[in-house]
Structure 1
Amino acid sequence: MIFPAIDLKAGQSVRLYQGDFDQTTVVNADPVAQARTVNAAGLQQLHVVDLDGAKDGQPQNYATIAAIRKAFTGLMELGGGIRSFELAQRYLTLGIDRLILGSVALTQPALVKRLLAEYGPERIVIGIDGQDGYVAINGWFEQSQTKMSQLMRDMVQAGARHFIVTDVARDGTLRGPNIGLYLQLKEKCPEANLIASGGVRNLSDVQLLQASGFQDVIIGKALAAGKVTLPALAEVDG
């Protein structure tokens, strides 16, 4: 599946450069309308991140997220600042299909295990963001000493199946995806489904990822920059 991305900051759709809040570009002042264009192009998946929530550790764009969910038809996954069982329940009750748990996979593994046991691996997705092979947390403001591969192994043992893997150094740069990283992680955790995120430049990158065994891809900056179109992505969506 190909997931167009909508990153929310102060109610607007934006793109960051390498996760830097000081390097923000507004993509669309109306993210609800943006979500509708994804549907109109024939795509039925959407990746949404509450950037403010990831930074602050609590939801900051809830009303906008609710409006997107109401407007969008299809699978919607959401991440950013989901750090309690109660908030996870609230979002799932809202109709979010899949929750992305990032920082808490490292800092609150018991919470992630509880959510996986309650809702299963199709509704609870693990987000592993990192640089130089090590996990970054709290909106990428902190670099941990835990290897991405170790966190993935731990979460597989906890029952997780889907992992969104982002190379922070590639995100928002249009430098191409870090396929080498994905292949290394897949070799160490063959049972995991890796969802590629960060650095995708064009349709050729998507096709290269698919040919390398990674069918699920998240695309943000390339869409915002006009390097690829939604209809073109719909044609190769698998």
Structure 2
Amino acid sequence: MIFPAIDLKAGQSVRLYQGDFDQATLINNDPVEQAKAVNAAGLHQLHVVDLDGAKAGQPENFATVAAIRAAFDGTVEIGGGIRSRELAELYLKLGIDRIILGSVALSDPTLVKQLLATYGGERIVIGIDGQNGLVVTDGWLKQSQVKMSQLMTEMLAAGARHFIVTDVARDGTLQGPNVGLYSTLLAQCPQANLVAGGGVRTLADVQTLQAIGCQDVIIGKALAAGTVTLEELAGVVG
């Protein structure tokens, strides 16, 4: 599946450069209209991140997420600052299809395993953001010493299936995805469905990722920059 991305900051859609909150570019001041445009192009998957929430550890754009969910026809996944069972369940009751758990998978793996046991690996998705093969957390502001492959292996054992993997150094740069990282992780954890995010520039990048086994791809900056269009992506899906 192809997931166009909407990253929320102060109620607007933005893109960061390498996860730097001080390097935010406004994409659309109306994220709901942006979501509708995804539908209009024939795509029915959407990747949404509450950037403020990821930094604060609590939802900061909940009303905007709710409005996107109400307007969008298809699968919506949300990540950013979901670090409690209460918030995860609040999003699920809102009608969000998939919850992305990132920092909490490292800080509170017991909670994540409990949510996986309750809701299953189709609704609970693990977000693994990293740099130089090591996991970063809290809106990419904190560097851990845990290997990305180590966290993936632990979560697979707990019932996780989908992993959104982002190389922070590539995100928002249009330098191309880190194919080597994804190939390595797929070789280490072949049973995982690895969703690639970060650095995708063109349809050729999407095809390269799918060729190595990443059938699901998240695209953000390339759409904003116009190096790929929603209509082109819809053609790939079709």
Q: Give 1:211 deviation, angstroms.
A: 1.5
Give the corresponding residue for 1:220.
Answer: 220
1:177 aligned residue: 177
Give the structure 1 partner of residue 100 of structure 2.
100
The separation in 2 between residues aligned to 1:194 and 1:121, in whole angstroms, is 13
Point out 4+ residue stretches in structure 1 off by more than 2 angstroms.
none
Identify which range, 57-66 or 208-217, moves more after superposition. 208-217
Instruction: Give the distance between the partners of 2:222 and 2:237, measured in 1 at CA.
Output: 16
Report the counterpart of residue 68 of structure 1 in structure 2: 68
Q: 1:74 Cα shift?
A: 0.2
Find the counterpart in structure 1 of residue 37 from structure 2.
37
For residue 97 of structure 2, what is the amino acid of its counterpart? D
Q: Which amino acid aligns with 1:58?
A: Q
Distance 2:108 2:33 in 1: 35
TM-score by length of 1: 0.99
Aligned equivalent of 1:131: 131
The equivalent residue for 1:111 is 111
How far has the Cα of 1:160 moved from its partner? Answer: 0.3
Corresponding residue of 1:9? 9
Deviation (angstroms), 1:62: 0.4
Q: Secondary structure at the match of 2:91?
A: helix
- 2:230 pairs with 1:230: yes
In structure 2, the residue corresponding to 1:159 is in which secondary structure?
coil
Show CA shifts across 1:99-136 (max 9, x none). 00000001000010010011000000000000000000
Match of 1:18 in 2: 18
Q: 2:54 aligns to what?
A: 54
Deviations 1:163-207 (A, max 9, x none): 000000000000000011011001111110000000001111011
Task: For residue 208 of structure 1, report the CA deviation from its aligned partner.
Answer: 1.0
> Percent of aligned pairs with the same residue?
75
Deviation of 1:217 after TM superposition, in Å, equals 0.1
What is the RMSD computed on CA atoms of the aligned residues? Answer: 0.6
The one-letter code matched in structure 1 to 2:33 is A
> What residue in structure 2 maps to residue 143 of structure 1?
143
Gapped runs of 5+ residues in structure 1?
none
Distance 2:162 2:234 in 1: 22
Amino acid at match of 1:108: D
Q: Tell me the matched-pair count.
A: 238
1:3 maps to a residue whose letter is F
Residue aligned with 1:145, SS: strand
Counterpart-to-counterpart distance in 2, 1:87 and 1:208 = 36
Query: Deviations for 1:7-44, whole angstroms, at most 9, x for unmatched residues?
Result: 00000000000000000000000000000000000001
Letter in 2 for 1:83: R
How far is 1:157 from its partner? Answer: 0.6
Q: 2:2, 2:219 within 8 Å by CA — same for their partners in 1?
A: yes
